[in-house]
Structure 1
């Protein structure tokens, strides 16, 4: 009788262990299936980075959907389907595209030595450091140029613009040396008018503007190429779910 009780006790413990193991495994699988998982150009994207970027493109995406599909912005706007795709899925796609663009800019800047770290965390630190420095100057009564404090998005826009300008101003960088044929061709591609005059400016008068626009165009093409070759890996179903959950 005692042996039979011991056998039942052992069997109960084994069954309990199996049940617990199964429950834990189920929880782990559930968490894994529902966790945010997105990598863009080898950069692991955090929820914070994704949501910051999503908010930045949300308005433009809303306008895009309204213009392309004649949609009216109302309560179920993001849940409606447009050519077989929900509004929040279009927003998720646009967010990923913007992330590809941002990381293309910062990866190129790192390669050129303009920044030492192209990660989101490094960008966030530079933003906070810039605001701290401006705040300190304000307290000391020193003159500051521009805003007293940047929002994250304004700082991102400012830094991206600065990195582009720095690249385009350096004629030793790839694509920034222009031949006279390129300059002539770009000049002839459209009219160049200065001031209130309706007359076309000749090449020598327009040269600075022509060269600047041509370099910026080449830079933009370089970034676009990098975006096109940028790999995106992750669980888009969960990305879409997070997008819907956080739309205003």
Structure 2
């Protein structure tokens, strides 16, 4: 047995949960079927035991990412003996075990914190498996009794693991956010002042004249180019259109904060061109659906800022995410991880 400090922050906790589920959905399950071997302790994190079965489940979640890493970095072929072959001084098996160690440490320190907070009583893998059996039994009894059952009638092991872990981590973050991680009003105000130009600035109100030439033909493109030349001569799209023999369509269009979502979705080319125009300026040819457009900016008013009161919850959420990451990094850095080396060294990966 030896002490092994783990201080690597690998992924944000919610993203990690999503990645776990994706790997599990791919069908990579390594965990032992049960018995004394499966219940043997691989390591402890701050005194909490991690069994072979729990650790191999963590290896399963990292399996696909490890294969892809060695394929992209070393051009490794996934075939018989892949896990034992050395690449760059390390075997995929050792890399997988290290990733699983980091993952399980990150998870376990959060489970321990949740247990201390009274959010959960049992954080052992055996307790989880028992809870799954009870949940599946209840669901089947409810379904047999004619009750409405939301979700699956029977949870798979990894499916239920993701469900329970994700919910627990959300509750832990909420619990911490109401206590030691709660951002102060001063921190919220400081974040607003520092980031309002990039995050909370309203879109300007841009009033434009739009000339549209239907059809996506070269002839239509030439008409649009002619309109630009005439508009620059007359300093007006209206006068340019009146001086041309070709049939073009004129209209006014306002781009502002209220229309921003629809503009970005349905006419991003026009929105981008309008945002670059100063009053009086004329755009180049803008290819749009079913033709070509030209814009002239008639009036532009800056939009100001969204008020602090309107974005306070958004800022609070952003700060909590940062603070939670910092808290978790510190917990991982201070975690006491004791590896049972004789058990750890026996962990293998099936091809």
TM-score by length of 1: 0.71
Query: For residues 214 and 104 of structure 1, what CA distance do their matches in structure 2 show?
Result: 21
Please state whether the residue corresponding to 1:130 is helix, strand or coil.
helix
Range with greater deviation from structure 2 (56-65 or 196-205): 196-205
Q: Which residue number in structure 1 is paired with residue 31 of structure 2?
A: none
**Is the contact between residue 45 and residue 109 of structure 2 (CA under 8 Å) also seen in structure 1?**
no
Equivalent of residue 172 in structure 1, options 144, 166, 178: 178
- Ranges in structure 1 where 5+ consecutive residues have no aligned partner: 1-34
Equivalent of residue 316 in structure 2, options 203, 207, 211: 211
Identify if the C-alpha distance between structure 1 residues 60 and 201 changes in structure 2 by more than 3 Å, giving closer, same or farther.
farther
**Is the contact between residue 42 and residue 55 of structure 2 (CA under 8 Å) also seen in structure 1?**
no
Q: Which residue number in structure 2 is paired with residue 153 of structure 1?
A: 158
Once the two structures are TM-superposed, the CA of residue 162 in structure 1 deviates from its matched residue by 1.4
Between Structure 1 and Structure 2, the one with more strand by share is 2
Query: For residues 149 and 310 of structure 2, what CA distance do their matches in structure 1 show?
Result: 35
Identify if the C-alpha distance between structure 1 residues 133 and 224 changes in structure 2 by more than 3 Å, giving closer, same or farther.
farther
2:327 aligned with 1:247, yes or no? Answer: no
Q: Which residue number in structure 1 is paired with residue 338 of structure 2?
A: 233
Query: For residues 107 and 36 of structure 1, what CA distance do their matches in structure 2 show?
Result: 17
Query: For residues 139 and 85 of structure 1, what CA distance do their matches in structure 2 show?
Result: 53
2:77 aligned with 1:72, yes or no? Answer: yes
The number of residue pairs the alignment matches comes to 211
Once the two structures are TM-superposed, the CA of residue 122 in structure 1 deviates from its matched residue by 2.0
Q: Which residue number in structure 1 is paired with residue 222 of structure 2?
A: none
Identify if the C-alpha distance between structure 1 residues 91 and 114 changes in structure 2 by more than 3 Å, giving closer, same or farther.
same
Q: Which residue number in structure 2 is paired with residue 128 of structure 1?
A: 133
Please state whether the residue corresponding to 1:90 is helix, strand or coil.
helix
**Is the contact between residue 191 and residue 200 of structure 1 (CA under 8 Å) also seen in structure 2?**
no
Between Structure 1 and Structure 2, the one with more helix by share is 1
Identify if the C-alpha distance between structure 1 residues 242 and 139 changes in structure 2 by more than 3 Å, giving closer, same or farther.
same
Query: For residues 164 and 142 of structure 1, what CA distance do their matches in structure 2 show?
Result: 29
Please state whether the residue corresponding to 1:82 is helix, strand or coil.
coil
Range with greater deviation from structure 2 (192-201 or 78-87): 192-201
TM-score by length of 2: 0.52
2:61 aligned with 1:56, yes or no? Answer: yes
Identify if the C-alpha distance between structure 1 residues 158 and 221 changes in structure 2 by more than 3 Å, giving closer, same or farther.
farther
Equivalent of residue 143 in structure 1, options 138, 141, 148: 148
Identify if the C-alpha distance between structure 1 residues 81 and 111 changes in structure 2 by more than 3 Å, giving closer, same or farther.
same
Query: For residues 221 and 157 of structure 1, what CA distance do their matches in structure 2 show?
Result: 23
Range with greater deviation from structure 2 (182-191 or 79-88): 182-191
